[in-house]
Structure 1
Amino acid sequence: MSHSASSESVHVRAPGKINVYLGVGGRHDDGYHALATVFQAVSLYEDVIARPAADFSIVVRGVEDPDSVPLDDRNLAMRAAKLLAAAAEYDGGVALEIRKSVPVAGGMGGGSADAAAALVACDALWGTGFSQARLHELAARLGADVPFALHGGTAVGTGRGDQLNPALARGRFDWVLVTSDEGLSTPVVYATLDALRAEEGALADDPPLSLDVPIPVLQALRSGDPELLAESLANDLQAAAVHERPDLERTLSHGIRAGALQGIVSGSGPTVALLCSGPESAQEVQSALREAGLDPLHVHGPVPGARIIG
């Protein structure tokens, strides 16, 4: 089917995320774990520029190791573009340019942000006119974090993390992120969690196949009080991530000593997210960690999801 495609490029920006809370339950027969999580989109972005083309291609900028981001169908943005084309019966292609700022394999959903941005960009470029609900449906087929990158803000994710409900978060939360040059594989971290639980006997008798986010987490977000939220930060994957990367524990401790209210490994890691009392505190923590030889970033949330720029 032919569509009225634009001859101009489309630039879409999508945010990375942190998991303010991540509870991991039992593993379903399909291999996925039951999750209950709270995502918060933060001011660290991926930019995707879509240009008309007869076929599908990707170039990636902003990464030190070109081999760290695949340029074929293993790339979520490529899969997103092809999925949208198939759904819309669009017979052309697209040239995607990805400008990365979110760490690769950093537990912050950079690839998912690329996919969400590609959906929005291609929808606009090709004039497919899909509704937000239809784009969400396609996003969910690409991975648990992609629908959130599409919407942004703060949201509760259940199921595999792809069943989203907006969460009220008042005000602004300031975070200092400590990234790593060496990524962590999400499947490896989940496998380590399963192994640790098997050793400890945890979840052995009756693994929960559905979970809920604890009420204190939601209350802290509604209050807009970072000190309350600091008391509720939790990540069931953190022990597994630290097992694979013991240096993360040292980074967390260093952040607390530098003045952060609390710290957490974001998602499957290795990015460490340090919650601060406000912008000035975050700048002080950032300076202290930089002096210690780390590479911290000051970001804030929540911010909007994938949106067209210009």
Structure 2
Amino acid sequence: MSHLRAVPSPDVHPRPRSGSATSVRVEAPGRVTLFHSRAAAGPEGEGSATTVYQAVRLITTVTARRQSRDAHGTVTLTPGEPGDGPLDPQGPAARAASALAEAVGVTEGVDLLLRRRVPAHSGLGAGAAEAAATLVACNHLWGTGLTQAELRALAAGLGEGAAFPLTGACAVGHGQELSPVMTRGTYQWVLAVPTRGLDPAEALARHDALGGVGSRQVPGAELPDSLTAALRAGDPSALAPALRNDLEEAVVSLRPELAEVIATAQRAGALRALVVGTGPAVAALVTDTVCAARVTRALSASGLLGVVLRADAPVAGARVVG
């Protein structure tokens, strides 16, 4: 259980409320990173980054339920499956509910039921999906009427990339700024997730310690023409050589077994395999469902992973269902 507390938020003012629902269910997608260019942090703080996100069909579901009037503005979290384990009372869902309540002056609490398909601490955007789904669900439940742009601004205050699941599809992020990227076609991914997660801060610290190895492009510059052209054409074979993650060397240095995971996927027929974001998940781009099945079998038999998932992309952003 967590009490609603202030989270830095954009200039969103209290407004008349019109919500009458007792329960709202929202789905939000996971993500892969097609491109991540990051400069090492300098003496004044965090390094800057340019990231291209693609939403994949790994769906997190948040159901927001009204509390009784004597709940005194608390957020309660319930795992959707018995084996999910305890949820962090100060995690992404609770922080998102707090940010929205603070921004619009809501004092009532909310019960949140979370069902995850995105493994936590994997680099696949589990926390961002939880936050996005919670923002949309509470916005509907409380009748606060925030626009998509206002929800994105709130999400941006919750962390880098946190706004992306609200829009889905494909987008490029420069820090907290997010812009759509034109894309066609469908892409098939096999996602290899190790048993142990990895703290993003640890991956970023290692990248900085290595001196920003791999940062051949100044973050914030235009994306490579090969990447944008492949997405416009809907051509996975052309996209594969344009995939890039400057954090990969740092993540593999922390988890050397990932080098074998990448090699196994590519030997089995993947067009390309690479670490997703801050890892430790590896995303393997494949040509079709037959290739996906072959790569999945090879990775599952490797003994190096906790779970192997298949997902298509791109998919839509967070939406109310049911």
Q: Considering the TM-score relative to the shorter chain, is it more than 0.5?
A: yes
| Contact 1:23-1:211 within 8 A present in 2 as well | no
| Contact 2:296-2:309 within 8 A present in 1 as well | yes
Q: Which amino acid aligns with 2:80?
A: R
Distance, in Å, in 2 between the alignment partners of 1:207 and 1:217 is: 14
1:119 aligns with 2:138: no
Shift of 1:89: 1.0
Task: Give a deviation string over 1:197-220, Cα, whole Å, max 9, x none.
Answer: 17x7x87xx994644322211111
Q: Does the residue aligned with 1:45 lie in a helix, a strand or coil?
A: strand
What's the counterpart of residue 39 of structure 1? 53
Q: Which amino acid aligns with 2:313?
A: G
Q: How does 1:1-310 map to 2 (within 5 A)?
A: 3-27=17-41, 31-53=45-67, 54=71, 55-62=74-81, 64=83, 66-67=85-86, 69-71=87-89, 73=90, 75-158=91-174, 160=175, 162-197=176-211, 208=218, 210-293=220-303, 294=305, 295-310=307-322
Gap change, CA 1:267 and 1:181, over 3 Å in 2:
same
For the aligned residues, what is the CA RMSD? 2.1
Q: Unaligned 5+ residue runs, structure 1?
A: none
Runs (4+) of structure 1 exceeding 4 A deviation are: 62-65, 206-209
Distance, in Å, in 2 between the alignment partners of 1:17 and 1:58 is: 23
Shift of 1:29: 6.5
Gap change, CA 1:238 and 1:64, over 3 Å in 2:
farther
Gap change, CA 1:84 and 1:165, over 3 Å in 2:
same
Aligned length: 301
Distance, in Å, in 2 between the alignment partners of 1:29 and 1:96 is: 40
| Contact 2:17-2:145 within 8 A present in 1 as well | no
Shift of 1:61: 3.3
Shift of 1:249: 0.6
Distance, in Å, in 2 between the alignment partners of 1:83 and 1:289 is: 40
Shift of 1:30: 6.3
Distance, in Å, in 2 between the alignment partners of 1:211 and 1:14 is: 29
Distance, in Å, in 2 between the alignment partners of 1:40 and 1:266 is: 11
Q: Which amino acid aligns with 1:270?
A: P
Q: Does the residue aligned with 1:239 lie in a helix, a strand or coil?
A: helix
Which region of structure 1 is more displaced relative to structure 2, 5-14 or 283-292? 283-292
What's the counterpart of residue 3 of structure 2? none
Shift of 1:290: 2.5
